[in-house]
Structure 1
Amino acid sequence: MTVIIAFLANVLVAVAKTVAAIITASASMVAEAAHSWADAGNEVFLLIADRRGGRTKDQRHPLGYGRSAFVWSLIAAFGIFTAGSIVSIMHGIQELSETGPVESPIVAYTVLGISFVLEGASFTQAMVKSRRLARERGASTWDFVLETSDTTLRAVFFEDAAALIGLALAGGAIAMHQITGVAAWDAVGSILVGVLLGVVALILIKRNVAFLVGTNASPTLRARVGRALLASPHIQRVTYLHIEYVGPNRLFVVAEVDLAGDAREHDVARRMRAIEQQIEANAVIETVVLSLSVDDEPSLDFGETEA
C-alpha cells in the first residue's frame, strides 16, 4: 500500500509539474518534473520488487526469491540517479547562461504547493509506518530506515523526503529569480535538485548492494534470534550462529546447538528437524539449519532473556 500511494501521488505531481514547466519555462520546474517522473517509474520497479521477492521458495531457489527484491530496488535507485539527478544537473548547467524574467510564477508556486501537499501525504504514511516499526525494535526512526531490510519502505521514505526538500529548493530558486531578475538562480535550483537526487540514489544503491553481497545482522537481531533458540526447552546452549538476509524481512539461520538429554542418534535427528520446523513457522524465517555442537565449544552469550 505504501508503494501504491507513493506511485499515485508521483503520477499526479509529475503531470502537474510538466504542465507548469511548459508554461513557466523554469529550469527548476523542469528538474522537478523529471524528478517526479523518475519517482513514478521507480515505484513500478518497487512494485515488481515486492511481487518477485514474495514468491515462495522451490527446488531451484531453496532460500526463496527474496533477493530479487534487492535487485529490482537497485534498478529503481539507478533510475533516480540517471533519470532524475543527471538530467536535472545537466539541464541546470545548460540554463546557467540564460536570462529573462520568470514567466507565470503563480503557476509554478501553485503547482509546487499542491505537490508539497501530495508528497507530504505520501511521506507521512511512510513516516508513520517507519516510526511504528522502529519503536517495536527499540531503534530510532532514522537508524531503522537506514538498516531495515525492507528496501521498498526505505526507498519510498527517502524518495518522498527528497521530493519535499526538492520542492522547497525549486520554490526558493524561482523566488530568487523573480526577486533579483537573475535567471541563474533558477538554473542553480535545478542543479541543487539534481545533487539532492544523486545523494539519495547513492544511499539507496549502497544499501541494496550491501544486502545483495551479504551484510551482518545487527547485534540486537542476533541477540533476539539467539534468545529465541535458547527459549526452546530442547536446546541447552548455542555455540555458533549465522544470520543472513535472503530478502526483505526474510532470514536464513544456521546454528550449532547442544540438545537437552542424551537421546539416540535417530531420536536426535527427529528432534532437531521438529525444532527447525517450529522455528520456520516464524514469518521472518525463510530457512533454518541446525547441527550439533562439539562438547568443548564455548557457548554464545546473548544477554539477559527477554521477559
Structure 2
Amino acid sequence: MAQAFETRDRLCKAHGWSKEQVELVPVLASGDKVLDRPLAEIGGKALWTKELDVWLGEGRIDVSVHSAKDVETIRPSQFGFGAVLPRADRRDCLVGAASIADIPQGAVVGTSAPRRASQLLNLRPDCEVVTFRGNVATRLGKLKAGEADVTFLAAAGLERLGESAVGAPLEVDEWIPAAAQGAIVLECRAADEATKAMLAAIDDHGTRVELEAERALLAELGGTCHSPIAVLCQPGGEGLTMRAALFSPDGTERIEGEAVFDALDLAPVKALAKDLLARATPGIAPHFGGAS
C-alpha cells in the first residue's frame, strides 16, 4: 500500500490531479495468505501477481502496483510495464547485527529468499537458516519473539514505511542485492493506450534500463524463485555495469562475472549469462533452466 500511495502521489503531481481522482483498490495477494512455507514451494512469484492479473484483465483496475523483484520474468503478453518509478535504495538491511561478520557464531538467521540464504551461508557457513516470511512488521515481530537471531529486510521497503533507522545496510560491493530490488513497476493492459499515456509521465528511463537488463539476465539464465542469484546493475562510465553471482543453495559453491554494456545493446548481458551457465558447478547448474 505504501507503494500505491507513492504511485498516486506521483500521478497527481505529474497531471495536476487531486488524490480523490485516483482510486486505490487493496488486493490481498496469495503471497500474503500463506506465510508458513517458502514462496518457492507454494507457487513462486506468481503468488504476488495472480490476483492482480485477474482484476487487471477483467478491467476492474487500470494499473497494478508491484515490487519489481516480485514480478515473474516471463509475463502474460496482455500486460506491460506502463511505468517504472525511480529506483530507491537497492541494498539489503541486516536486522539483529551490525554486519555479516558480527552475526554471532552459530546464529539462527530467518529468511525465505534463496539468494539471501545461499549468500549468507557462503560467507557464514556456521549459521542456520530458518524460513521467515511476512511483511516487515510480521518479520520484526518474529525476530523479537526469538524465532531467529537476525533477519534481512529490503532497505527500500523500510524507507517507504518510514523505518529507515531499522537495521544495518549492507554495502553492495560485499553483499549483492536481488535483481530489480528497490524498483516499483506499474503494469497495465498492453492495449490500453490511454492508461499507458498517463503512466508515461512518471516513467523513469534510467531505472527502466537497469530493470530491463536485470530481467534479461534472469531470462537468459532461466532463473526462477528457486534460483539463488544476486545481481547489481548500475551506471558506470558511458554505459552500465552488471555484476552477477550464482550460488548453490547451501552456499558452498559460488561463481560470478561482470559485463559492461550500453542501454541499447543487451548482447553483453546475454553473453554474461551464457558465461555463468558455462561455468556453473554441479551444485549450481540444476537451479537454472538455461543450463539444460
Shared topology, TM-score over 0.5? no
| TM-score (ref. length: structure 1) | 0.27
Q: TM-score, normalised by structure 2?
A: 0.28
- Answer with 1 or 2: which has the greater Rg: 1
Higher relative strand content: 2
Considering fraction of residues, name the structure with more helix: 1
